[in-house]
Amino acid sequence: MIKKLAVFIGEYKKFAVLVPIFVFCEALSELYMPVLMAKIIDVGIPNSDISYIAKIGGLMAGLACLAMSFGYLIMRYSSYCSHGYGANLRNALFEKVQTFSFQNIDHFSTASLVTRLTNDVNNMQMTVLMMLRIVLRAPMMLIIAFILAFSINARLSTFIAGAIVVLSVSIWLIMRTAVKLYTIVQQKIDAINNTIQENLIGVRIVKSFVRADFEKSKFKKVNDALTEAAVRAANVAVLNFPIMILVMNGATLAIIWSGGHMVFNNTLGAGQLISFLSYVFQILFSVMMISMIILMAARAQASAERILEVIETRVDIGDLSLKQISDPNGLSQQDTLHANDHSARSPSIGKGKVEFRHVSFKYNSSESGENVICDINFTAHPGEIIAIVGGTGTGKSTLVNLIPRLYDVTEGSVLIDDIDVRDYQLQDLRNGIGVVLQKNTLFSGTIYENLLWGNETATHEQVEAACKDAQAHEFIMSFPEGYNTLLGQGGVNLSGGQKQRLCIARAMLKQPKILILDDSTSAVDSATEAKIRESFYNNLAQTTVFIIAQRISSIRDADKIIVLDDGRVVGIGTHQELLKSNAVYQEINASQLEGAADHE
């Protein structure tokens, strides 16, 4: 796992190498201090040799400056390195998420992806920072200090060895429990983030349903759970300190007692005893540091796993050629078959003929495991307007989402111009298809910028023409800033119908061969909708248009109407044909006529 995540250090590798070298130098300079101090006490003071004391003192001051300089370099480069690492990791995750199919995103949920890109990456970044600063230093200090202490007096060193053993065992026992508890803490943080994100994304709905109190108590629950878990983990972790102090004081006492005798007997210098004691502190401090690192590593492990899960997700919709390079073993059998079938790939969509051949589909997350749509067969000829009707949840959106490969078919195939959609380059495929999704969204920026999403090179005239066709020009011009009006996140400052018309204009600007409108005029009044429809007939004669609509009035002029019921096609024909022969269609029509009559 560490290896897989270590690659993201990238161009910061040199700092990751430099910092430990600086740490080594800093530790050496610090560790040499007690040796010099012992010399002053044992040689300089008894001999009253001021110049010797000054010389050694000067050396100590120099060494302190050196240690300080290294300390500065360590701080500087370790933060540089860890921030760089965090940025690389975030970038890699973001790029990966961009390649995700809808199916992949459904699997993680957007909230969890946000947590992974922010919180988990921060955890990793902090860990790298601490690791660089401590991970080498602590064991190094421990070993060198022990060697130096041993060289002063071997017998006294046995006390240190004893203390290390006692400390290690108690730390190990504490850690074993703490690691488990910290994993729980991490999960609770995830739950909190999920709750916050869900609440904020849906804040308008929360307010309109007056669910604030419910949300508050829901949040309090996860918040309390986090506090409880964190306190439990901390309670165990803090045991470290009293044990540490106890062992440290015990060892010091034993060393002073035993070392004191040696000084009396003149087998040990007083200065040596003092420097020995400072090594003891350094050793025990290092042990504590090591225990801290272990604890941190445990916390980081949860984050690392969550990040790797994203990085290692197999993107189930992508270009075959790209996938073959990046993921040679990741192709499903179906993908491989298609790669072989059509070695010459179509460059881009031609006329826009769409054919469904025995298409069935089910969502990965579907609990029942049943197909959402089942054995769909039809052909849409270039330039036709195809309407899809059916009750809610019958699979209309699912069906059209298969055309631009927002999801891939489970069985059968979708063909455009007689070529399987999976054999197009994803970019070419999607560039040729304009989509207005049922849950469509706009982005923060000006209206004009949003429209250019459809076609970056569009001229102002083209933008205006598309907006006129989508009946959006008028309301855009009614804003003081016109096309330069700033939209908030998701286009909050527009009405539902205005948003829909902008989305239609955006899709039309693409001048696609195939245009998909999923319930995209539901918030537009009938008169405006009729005008939009008229412009389809006038300006999109070459475009194959799929319209999903609830109102029969929206689709009665369509060349072909596909009636869906429970994921199956139960009728295909024109309005008149279906009215005569199709029971489901008659029922939908009758219910709407009744509704209209009631209204009047």
Ligand X SMILES: Nc1ncnc2c1ncn2[C@@H]1O[C@H](COP(=O)(O)OP(=O)(O)OP(=O)(O)O)[C@@H](O)[C@H]1O
- Tell me which residues touch ligand X (CB under 6 A): 106, 363, 365-366, 372, 390, 392-398, 438, 519
Nearest to Mg ion of 421, 437 (CB atom): 437
State the minimum distance, in angstroms, from the CB of residue 585 to ligand X: 15
Burial 435-465 (b: 16+ CB within 10 A, else e): bbbeebebeeeebbebbbebbeebeeebbbb
Using Cβ positions, the residue closest to Mg ion within the complex turns out to be 397
State the minimum distance, in angstroms, from the CB of residue 569 to ligand X: 13
State the minimum distance, in angstroms, from the CB of residue 455 to ligand X: 27
Residues 434-453 close enough to bind Mg ion by CB under 5 A:
438
Q: Which does 348 bind (CB under 5 to 8 A by kind): Mg ion, ligand X, none?
A: none
Nearest to ligand X of 393, 488 (CB atom): 393
Q: H/E/C letters for each residue in 262-317?
A: HHHCCCCCHHHHHHHHHHHHHHHHHHHHHHHHHHHHHHHHHHHHHHHHHHCCCCCC
What is the Cα–Cα distance from 479 to 492, expressed in whole angstroms? 15
State the distance between the two ends of the chain, measured CA to CA, in whole angstroms.
68
- Helix (H) or strand (E) holding 584, with range, is helix 583-599
Within 8 A by CB and 6+ apart from 478, the residues are none
State the minimum distance, in angstroms, from the CB of residue 555 to Mg ion: 14
247, 280 Cβ separation under 8 angstroms: no
563, 389 Cβ separation under 8 angstroms: yes
Q: Which does 395 bind (CB under 5 to 8 A by kind): ligand X, Mg ion, none?
A: ligand X
Nearest to ligand X of 467, 564 (CB atom): 564
Q: Which does 106 bind (CB under 5 to 8 A by kind): Mg ion, ligand X, none?
A: ligand X
The secondary structure of the chain in percent helix, strand, coil, rounded to multiples of 5, reads 65, 10, 25
Q: Which does 227 bind (CB under 5 to 8 A by kind): Mg ion, ligand X, none?
A: none
State the minimum distance, in angstroms, from the CB of residue 114 to Mg ion: 25
Q: Site size for Mg ion, by CB under 5 A? A: 2
Per rule CB under 5 A, is residue 397 in the interface with Mg ion?
yes
Nearest to ligand X of 269, 395 (CB atom): 395
Within 8 A by CB and 6+ apart from 119, the residues are 189, 193, 303
State the minimum distance, in angstroms, from the CB of residue 393 to ligand X: 4
Angle at 161 between CA 156 and CA 166, to 5 degrees: 130
The CA–CA distances, whole Å, from 591 to 547, 551, 594 equal 20, 10, 5
Nearest to ligand X of 103, 158 (CB atom): 103
Give the position of tokens 């540089």.
80
State the minimum distance, in angstroms, from the CB of residue 427 to ligand X: 23
Q: Which does 208 bind (CB under 5 to 8 A by kind): ligand X, Mg ion, none?
A: none
Per rule CB under 5 A, is residue 493 in the interface with Mg ion?
no
Q: Which residues bind Mg ion (CB under 5 A)?
A: 397, 438
